[in-house]
Chain A
Amino acid sequence: MLDELREKLLREGVKPGVVGRYLAELEDHLDDLGQTRTREEALRRLGSADALVTAMLAQPGVRSWTARAPWATLALGPLLGFVFGCFLPTLALYLGAREFAADKDWPLAAARFLVTFNEYVLPILVGWLAVIIALRQRAGLAWLLTGAVLIALLGGGLIEHINLRGNNFGFGFEVLDPFTTVMGRSFETMLFNLIAILAPYAVLRHRMARSA
């Protein structure tokens, strides 16, 4: 019954933290009831899952951002996360290297690593973050898919350069013709990003459906 309640609450958009605390207290309550009653009687006294969901939804402030504004947490948020995730570390490295390590070699290696990370890894990591939010809060696929497509496109066409010797850095966007490169900036990279982001979602969603 508590598993059923958890699913119903999450599907109704109740914050996972609120659900977790509620279920923990209900478990304690059931244990207390179980000292002197049968499990069936204890569950009956607790109330039906539907009644408990209704009681929870009657309280203000229990619904998550993902339930109220899925476009914000699953599309716009990840997109902004990707943009700032690229820009801020680059800015920090650029300013830090110029200020504190102008005569050192390691900033060049760090810049090469950061460019590779931002172009190839960050889009997928940000996409996975959105996937975790969507799965944890039982969100629908529509906004996650929108966000994943946007990140995959942006990440697939992103070109970054950091020139520590020339004192500049910048970002660009370019999409080459399909099938012209293997791991360059291309349509294939976008497709790879999209599949890499959504594959864990498909697998985990399938597992959750089977275990339900």
Chain B
Amino acid sequence: MAESNPHFMNGVPELLILQILKEREMYGYELVEEIHRRSGTVISIGEGVVYPVLHGLERSGALASRRAKVNGRSRVYYSLTPQGSARLEGLSDTWSRLSDAIRLVMSGAAHA
């Protein structure tokens, strides 16, 4: 497993969670597995960290949750709300611009 890189992780869990939940509702473990699967070993966060982010997004209205029984076990499923979609759009935009700027700097193609 890759080492955690906390200095670069501010806002990243939120972005990843919103992006993945845009496709379908999931419960916490499922969501973490999906982040691992899609990011390989590059992004590593303590799995328990996901829940405070989920709860915070729910409190702010970006996510909705519902409890459901699956195979005899109670799960809390999270899904994106319209407010969450708007937030994802804003975050994606910010992240893309930041990523482009870093790429420019790293490639040495900044203004001469």
Q: Which bucket holds chain A's interface residue count?
A: 20 to 34
Report if B53 contacts A (CB, 8 A). yes
The digit string for B47-67, where 1 denotes a CB below 8 A from any CB of A, is 111011101100100000000
Main secondary structure of the interface of A (DSSP, over half): helix
Q: Which residues from 7 to 49 on chain B have a C-beta closer than 8 Å to any C-beta of chain A?
A: 27-29, 32, 45-49
Interface string of A11-34 (1 = CB under 8 A from B): 000000010011001101101110
Given contacts A46-B46, A47-B46, contact A55 B75 (CB under 8 A): no
Most buried by B among A18, A29, A48: A29
Given the contacts A25-B51, A55-B46, A61 and B59 also touching, CB distance less than 8 Å: yes
Set B28, B53, B59: member contacting A55, Cβ < 8 A: B53
User: Given the complex of chains A and B, what is the CA–CA distance between A164 and B59 in angstroms?
Assistant: 51
Beyond A59-B53, A61-B59, is A28–B48 a contact (Cβ under 8 Å)? no
- B-side contacts of A29, CB under 8 Å: 28-29, 32, 47-48, 51
Q: Give the chain B neighbours of A28 by CB distance below 8 A.
A: 27-29, 73-75
Closest 6 A-B residue pairs measured CB to CB? A47-B46, A59-B56, A32-B29, A55-B49, A46-B48, A56-B52
Contacts A25-B28, A29-B28, A55-B52 aside, 6 further interface pairs with beta carbons under 8 A come to A25-B76, A55-B53, A56-B52, A58-B52, A59-B59, A61-B59
| Chain A interface (Cβ < 8 Å from any Cβ of B) | 18, 21-22, 25-26, 28-29, 31-33, 45-48, 51-52, 55-56, 58-62
